[in-house]
Structure 1
Amino acid sequence: MGWNILKSKKAVSRREAEATIEVYQPARKPVVTSTPPPAYEPPNTNFFQIPATLLNEQARAEAPPPPKVIEPVLVVGIDFGTTSTGVAYAMVTDVNAVETVITNWPGANNSNIKKIPSVVWYDADGKVIGWGKDTAFAEASAKAYKRDESERRSFEASYYKLLLENWDPTYEDFRRSIRLPPNKTALDVASDFLTEVRKVTEKELIRTFGEPRFKKLQREARYFLTVPAVWSDVAKSATRQAAVNAGFVDSMDNPKLSLIVEPEAAAIFCAKRDVYHFETNDVFLVVDCGGGTVDLIAYEVEDSTPSSFLVKEFTTGTGAVCGSVLVDTHFNDLVKAKVQYLLKMNIIDNKMAANIRRRCRKEFPNIKHNFKNDPNIDFTVETGVAASHEGLNLFDGDMTFTPEEILMAFQSSVSQVVSLVHDQIRQVQDKGKFLKAILVVGGYGSSSFLFASIQQAVPQRYRSCVLRPKDSVAAIVNGAVVTGIFQDVLKSRVARRHYCMETVEDFIPGCHRMNYMEEVNGKKKCKYTQRHLVKKGQEISIHDSITIPFFREISYNSSRIFTDKLYTCDATELPQYVVDPGMVYLTDLVTDLSAIGWDQFQKTEVNGKTLYRIYFDIVLAVDGGNEIKAEFVFNSDVRGKVNCKF
C-alpha cells in the first residue's frame, strides 16, 4: 500500500496564478433514490457459511485461474491500542496466505495470549524495567516506594497513547488525569513500548523462519499499524513517528509502513475471511470498541465476487473517547472514595489503602468482562488487608461490589457508544439503505454487558443482526495483516473533516472584512482567506490526489523555500476565514525550489523593479483520508517532496 501520486501520468502545468483546483473525483458516487429501500431480510448468523454458488458446476467453470506465485513478502500487523496491543504476521506469496497472531509474550508464563497490556514501567533514571505482561519486578519495586514521591523507585505509564492526540478538546478531561514518568513525553513512552514490541516480534519471526531467511525478508517487509478512525492527522503523524523511533522502518516517508484505521482493518478481516457472507450492495456497520476510543464506520460492498471483493466507506466515520478506560476511570473513582472514607475513619493506613487500590485495579478487567447486570451476582475482590466495614461491604479484607455499583461504572461509556451507533444508523438510512449487519469488535467489544446494551438499544429490525465475530478481540490485528495480503479491498473513504489552504486573495469590498485588507506590491489583498480542498463527507478514492496551483513573485536571490498553511475543520460548514472559530491549524507545507535555477523562472518588471514569477503545483494526497503526503511539480515534472511539519 505504497504511496505513488504521479507514477503513470504527470500533472498538467498551468500558467494562471488563479487557476482553479483540480480535484480528481471518483467516477461513481452513491445515489440516493426516493424509492423505498429493499425489504429487510434477517441476516444469516452462520459465520462460516459457504456460498452455494461455489458448490455448483457453473461456479467451478467460472472460477479464476490459480493465484500467481510471487516473491514471498512478509506482512506484519500491529494493533497498538490504548490498553492492549497485539501483533500478527503472514508470509505472502498469494491471496491464500494466512495470518498468525503472536501469543508468546514475556511475562505471560507460557500462557498463549493474543494481546498484552500497553504499559511501560521505568526506574528513576528513565530506563525501561518492565512492559506488557513482564512487569513483576517493576510492580515489586513500586510496592516498596515510600510516601515521599521523590524517593519513588519505579513509574508506570499507561493510557499514554491518548496523549498523542494533542489538540482534540474532547480528550481534555481524560488527558489531565494521565500521568507520565519524569522527563518523558507521550511520544517517548509510545516509542519505548513499540521498541519492546518490535524486539519480541523479531524474535518470534526468527524462531519461525530462521535468522538468515528473516534477515532477507526483513528488507522488504511491510508493516500495517492501526490507529483510531477519529484521530487527527497530528496524532497519526505522532504514531508513525513512534514506529520509526521503535525501528520498524528507518524514516517517516518509508512506504513500507502504512497506517490503517481500526474499523477498516476489522471490516476487511470480517469480509475477506467470510466471518459474515455479504452480497453486492450490502451495507454493514463496524463498531470497534477499544480501550481508549470507540470508532464506527459503515461500509458498502461494491463487488462481492471472491476474486475481486471490493468495499467502500458508506458513512462519515464517528467516534469518541468512551472505551473501556472510561469504565476503568469510574470504577477507580468508586474505589478511591471508599478508600478515602476508610482512611478518614482510621480503619486502614496508607499502605493498606495502596493495596486495596492495586488489588481492585488488577481484578477489575475480569469483573468488567463478566458483568451482565444480573441483580443476583455481586463481585468480590480479595484486598489482602485485615479490615472490615459493613457499610462499604468490606469483610476481613474482602471488598464486595454490587451490580448497581458496577453498572454506574459502565453507564457513561455505554450511553455514548449507543448514541454513536444510533448516529451511524441514521446516516445509513438517510441514504436509503438498511444495515445487513452490525459487527461489534475490539477488546471492549467482548464485554457481555456492552454487547447486550447495543443489541437492546438498536431498532427492532436490527437486533438479530448485531453480531460479535469469533475472535473479535483479534479481529483488528488480523485485519491489519489481511489488508497487506489483499491490498486493494477498499475503494474509497469518506472525508471526516474539511481541509483547506490559507490564501491571500484580491480584496473585494463588501465581500471581505475591511480589517483583513493589506497591501502587497501595490495591490489590495485580503489575508486569512482559504481555498477549500476537501469537503467533509466527500467520497475520496484511495488513489485520488488534489493538484493545487501556486504562484510566487520574488526578487532575485530571495529564498525559494515557500511555506503554506493547511487547516482542518470538523464543522458541517467551512468558515470563510482560517482565523474563524472551528478552524484548526494542521501543518505547514514547506516547498523547497532552491535546486531550480533562476533561468527557469519568468522574469518581469513591476513598478520598475525586476521580479521573478514562479509557477508550481503541489499535488496533495490524503491517502483516501488516512494520511497527508505531498509532492511538488514544476514544468510538469515531479521535483521533490513537500515536507509536512506538524
Structure 2
Amino acid sequence: MSMSARRITPSARSSLGEREFNSSIAGKNSKNFTTEKKFVIGVDFGTTFTSVSYFFHPINERHPRAFPEQLLSIKNWPDDLSSGDAGGTRPQVPSEIWYSPIPLSREAPQDTDDQDGTLDEFVYADKSHPLTFVENANPESSGDESSEFLWGYQVHHQQYRENISRNTGTRVKRSKLHLVPTAYTHDDRVELLRSMEILIDNGIIRKHGSKDEPDARNVLDIFTDFLVKVLNHTKEQLIQLHNFSSQSVVEFSLTVPTIWSPNASRILQTALQTAARLVKFGNISTKKVVIPYIVSEPEAAAIYMLAGNSSVHPRETFIIADCGGGTVDIVTYEIGTEHPLRLSEEKVTPGGDNCGSSYLNENWKNMLLDKLKDESYLLDMWPAGESLESIVNRFIPNFENDHKRRKDITSLFGLKTRLHLPGLKENAEKRFDDGHIVIINFGYGNRQDWEEVFNPLLERVKKLLHAQLFTALEKGLKVKKVFLLGGFGASPSLRSYLRNYLREMSNKPEVGYDIELMTGNDASGYPVTAVSCGAVLAALNKNNGPARMAQSSYGIFRKELYQPTVLGFEAHRNCTAKNCSIDNQDYLYVVNYFVFKGSLIPPRHRFEPWISIHAFPEDSTTWIYAQIAGRLEFDMTFLKTQRKIPLAERRYGKTKLAEPHYCVELEISAELNGMLLEYSARYPPGVGGKIMSRGQVCVSAAFAPGCA
C-alpha cells in the first residue's frame, strides 16, 4: 500500500487534542520529562471484522494509566465510504481478503520436512513479502479487476458488483473459524477448506505439514497477508496523527477466543509478529522477536466495560454475551480483583454458536431468492450475464447498512419496506406490487418476512444465554447482569428479544430477582472496539494475572544414541532406530523437553543445560548443523581448518566400519525471560566455552491468556 495522504476526520482531531493534553500532564508530573512515546496497540482479529485500538504515553512513565475515554481506534480504512469524501468513520474493517489468481512468490515453509510437519516451527520468509507495499488496490482504477489483491471494504464493494469477473473461490471470509474445530463451525470450515485448496493448488498460499493432510497452519499466510494490510494502514494513520516513526516503541496486545488451543493462538501470534516486521512497525524493524501480550476476548471486553463502572463489585457473578458478526460467545465470570480489574476463572463452561449478524445477510439473500425463484422472465429484461443471484445482491448493501442495524422486528406492527425491482410483475400472494417487493411484519398472516430473516438467529442466541443462566442457577450462582456487546449487540431486534426473555426468566419462581441487560450508555451500545480497547487496558496493567502455568511443552529436537539395553533407556525398547551413515551408530530422533505442559514456571528461569553430539564426515568442507527449536545454526568448520579436533574413533557396526569422521559435543542451554525464550549452543561445554549460536522465540501462546 502506498503512503497516500488521508483526510483526518473531525472526531480524530478532537480525540487527539484530549489525549495529548492527558499525556502532557502525565509527562510533566514526571521528574524526567521526555517527548518520546510508547504506543500500546490492541488488535482484535475478529471473525467478520477487525479493530485496532491504541494508547500512547511518555516512554519513561513507569506506571501509565488510561481511562476508556482516552483510548483511540484506527479509522479511515481504505474504501470505507461511510462518510463520503470526508474519510471513513468506522473503527473496524471487514476480516476478508480476495486474492488475485496470479501466483505469489513465497519461500517454501520450513516445516514441510521429513517429519510431516509434526514440529511446530513457524518460520516466515519476511524479506520480500509480495503484499507488503503494493500500490493502493482500487478496484475502479484497473482494467483487469481480477488482478487486484483486495481486502477489507474493497471485498465488500466488489462482491456485490454486477457482472463481476473475479473467481469467488479465491475470496476468503471467516478465516478465523478454521481454528475453531466445533460442530457449529463445521459448514464454514468446509467452505474455507475449499477456498484454501484452490489457493494452495494455484501457488497463492503455502501448504504446511503433510502434503496429503489438512493442517491448521495452512491458514497462516491468509492471516499474515491480511494483518500486513491492517498494520500498514495503522502505521500510516499513526504517522499522520501522532508523528509515529521508526524510533517509536511499540507493544502489541493480541486477543484470542477462550475456546482456542495454544496451537491456534500460536498461529495468530506468528502472523502478527511477521506482519509487524514486514511493515517495519515502529522500532520492531530492529527487533529479532515481537512479544505480544495475549488476553482472552471476553476478559478484554469485560476490562473495558467495567473500567470505572461502579455497578459491579468483587465476587459478583455476571454474563458476557459477545455477539459479533460471525460467532456469538457467552461466558459466565466472577470478578476476581477490582484494582486492576481481573476476572476469576469461568464459572460455567462457555457456550458458542455461529449465529452472528453476518448470517442475517445470508437469510435475507435466501428469502429474496426464494421469492424470485419463479420470476425467470426478469433475466430477459436485464443485461446479458445477469442472474437472479446478481439481482438479489443489489439489495444486500442497503440491508447491511440500514435494515439490520435499525429495525426492531419484535414490534408487532408497521414494519413495511418496499424494494424497487424494475420489471417485476404484480402478484398479490407473493406481495409483488408494481415493480416492488413488499417486505412486511404486520403481526398477522401466514408469513412474516422480517421474522423469517431474524428469528432463527435470535432463537439461537437466546438458547445460548438460557444454557448459561440455567447452569449458573444449578450451581447456586446469582447472575443479575448480562453485558451485551459486539456488532450484533447493537441490534434493536436482539436487544428487545433478549430483554423480553430476561423479563420472563426474572418472573420464574426459581429465580425471583431481576436480571438486567446491560447495553452501554447510548443507543449504539458498547463500542465495537470494546475488545481491542480492553486489550490495551489489560496490557497497561498486567498485575494479578493467572498463574504462569505452561499450556504447551517446549524442547530441542535432537538425535539420541539408541540404547535399548537394561543399562540404557527402557523407552527405547519399543522404538525403531535409524543408522547414521557417518559414525555407523544407531540413533532415535527425540525431543529433549525442558518446558513441560502443566508446570508452573516463574518469569525468569534458567533451565539445566544438556549435551548434544554431532558427527561430521571427514571430507565435509563446511560444518553447519541446524536444529528446529526456533532455529539454532552454528558453524564449526574452524575446528577442522585450525586442526583443533582429532578424528573420532571408527567403530564397527553390524555390517561395516564407520566412515572417517569428527565428533563435536555442544552444550545447549535455555533461559526464560518473561515471554521470551532464549537458547544458545556453547563449545566446548562448560563455563569456559564460547557461545557459537544463540536464538530467541516468543512463547506468549504457551501460557494462559492474561499471563505476563
Q: TM-score, normalised by structure 2?
A: 0.58
Amino acid at match of 1:518: T
Is 1:230 the counterpart of 2:259? The answer is yes
Q: Distance in 2 between matches of 1:597 and 1:465?
A: 73
Match of 1:442 in 2: 486
Q: Distance in 2 between matches of 1:262 and 1:222?
A: 18
Q: Distance in 2 between matches of 1:377 and 1:506?
A: 82
Match of 1:160 in 2: 173
Cα distance per residue 1:367-422 (max 9 Å; x no partner): 33334333435452524433134443333343334554444444554555455546
Is 1:323 the counterpart of 2:356? The answer is yes
Report the count of equivalent residues: 532
Q: Distance in 2 between matches of 1:546 and 1:429?
A: 46
Cα distance per residue 1:234-272 (max 9 Å; x no partner): 34433544454455454896436545443232122123x
Equivalent residues in 2 for 1:269-418, closer than 5 Å: 269-271=304-306, 273-275=307-309, 277-305=311-339, 308-314=340-346, 319-343=352-376, 351=386, 353=388, 354-369=390-405, 370-378=407-415, 380=417, 382-388=419-425, 389-402=427-440, 404-410=448-454, 413-414=457-458, 416-418=460-462
Aligned residues of 1:86 and 1:116 also touching (Cα < 8 A): yes
Match of 2:678 in 1: 631
Shift of 1:446: 1.6
CA separation of 1:128 and 1:371: change in aligned 2, threshold 3 A: farther
Equivalent residues in 2 for 1:146-157, closer than 5 Å: 149=165
Which of 566, 576, 582 lines up with 1:518 in the alignment?
A: 576
Q: Distance in 1 between matches of 2:363 and 2:309?
A: 34
Q: Distance in 1 between matches of 2:625 and 2:482?
A: 53
* SS of residue matched to 2:576: strand
Which of the pair has more CA radius of gyration? 2
CA separation of 1:159 and 1:450: change in aligned 2, threshold 3 A: farther
Aligned residues of 1:293 and 1:322 also touching (Cα < 8 A): yes
Shift of 1:474: 2.7
Cα distance per residue 1:170-212 (max 9 Å; x no partner): 5452144466998655766766655554455445444444xxx
Aligned residues of 2:614 and 2:665 also touching (Cα < 8 A): yes
Shift of 1:443: 0.9
Q: Distance in 2 between matches of 1:606 and 1:420?
A: 69
Match of 1:475 in 2: 530
Q: Distance in 2 between matches of 1:494 and 1:562?
A: 27
CA separation of 1:309 and 1:480: change in aligned 2, threshold 3 A: closer
Shift of 1:331: 3.1
CA separation of 1:164 and 1:549: change in aligned 2, threshold 3 A: farther
Aligned residues of 2:606 and 2:671 also touching (Cα < 8 A): yes
Aligned residues of 2:291 and 2:698 also touching (Cα < 8 A): no
Which of 73, 80, 92 lines up with 1:101 in the alignment?
A: 73
Aligned residues of 1:414 and 1:453 also touching (Cα < 8 A): yes
Aligned residues of 1:548 and 1:620 also touching (Cα < 8 A): no
CA separation of 1:343 and 1:67: change in aligned 2, threshold 3 A: farther
Which of 636, 640, 643 lines up with 2:695 in the alignment?
A: 640
Between 1:400-409 and 1:343-352, the stretch displaced more is 343-352
Match of 1:255 in 2: 290
Aligned residues of 1:78 and 1:85 also touching (Cα < 8 A): yes
CA separation of 1:332 and 1:639: change in aligned 2, threshold 3 A: same
Match of 2:546 in 1: 492
CA separation of 1:312 and 1:338: change in aligned 2, threshold 3 A: same
Q: TM-score, normalised by structure 1?
A: 0.63
Shift of 1:491: 0.4
Which of 53, 56, 76 lines up with 2:41 in the alignment?
A: 76
Aligned residues of 1:439 and 1:468 also touching (Cα < 8 A): yes
Q: Distance in 1 between matches of 2:571 and 2:365?
A: 52
Taking only aligned residues, the RMSD between alpha carbons, in angstroms, comes to 5.5
Shift of 1:492: 1.6
Q: Distance in 2 between matches of 1:295 and 1:621?
A: 34
Aligned residues of 2:227 and 2:271 also touching (Cα < 8 A): no
Between 1:251-260 and 1:465-474, the stretch displaced more is 251-260
Match of 1:21 in 2: none
Match of 2:302 in 1: 267
Shift of 1:95: 1.2
Aligned residues of 1:356 and 1:385 also touching (Cα < 8 A): no
Q: Distance in 2 between matches of 1:493 and 1:296?
A: 24
Aligned residues of 2:679 and 2:695 also touching (Cα < 8 A): yes
* SS of residue matched to 1:174: helix
Match of 2:13 in 1: none
CA separation of 1:314 and 1:204: change in aligned 2, threshold 3 A: same
Match of 1:214 in 2: 244
Q: Distance in 2 between matches of 1:103 and 1:279?
A: 34
Cα distance per residue 1:438-473 (max 9 Å; x no partner): 322111222234345555279645862432234342
Match of 1:44 in 2: none
Q: Distance in 2 between matches of 1:295 and 1:542?
A: 32
* SS of residue matched to 2:678: strand
Larger relative CO (CA 8 A, sep 6+): 1 or 2? Answer: 1
Aligned residues of 1:119 and 1:131 also touching (Cα < 8 A): yes
CA separation of 1:554 and 1:102: change in aligned 2, threshold 3 A: closer
Amino acid at match of 1:221: V
If each structure's strand is expressed as a fraction of its own residues, which one has the higher value?
1
Between 1:474-483 and 1:499-508, the stretch displaced more is 499-508
Q: Distance in 1 between matches of 2:380 and 2:175?
A: 37
Shift of 1:508: 12
Q: Distance in 1 between matches of 2:354 and 2:469?
A: 20
Amino acid at match of 2:245: K
Shift of 1:476: 1.9
Q: Distance in 1 between matches of 2:574 and 2:454?
A: 50
Shift of 1:549: 7.7
Q: Distance in 2 between matches of 1:615 and 1:478?
A: 45
CA separation of 1:621 and 1:75: change in aligned 2, threshold 3 A: closer
Amino acid at match of 1:160: K
Aligned residues of 1:554 and 1:612 also touching (Cα < 8 A): yes
Q: Distance in 2 between matches of 1:427 and 1:593?
A: 56
CA separation of 1:208 and 1:524: change in aligned 2, threshold 3 A: closer
Q: Distance in 2 between matches of 1:190 and 1:526?
A: 36
Shift of 1:339: 3.7
Q: Distance in 2 between matches of 1:642 and 1:239?
A: 14
* SS of residue matched to 1:214: coil
* SS of residue matched to 2:375: helix
Q: Distance in 1 between matches of 2:527 and 2:697?
A: 40
* SS of residue matched to 2:315: coil
Aligned residues of 2:481 and 2:516 also touching (Cα < 8 A): yes
CA separation of 1:525 and 1:143: change in aligned 2, threshold 3 A: same
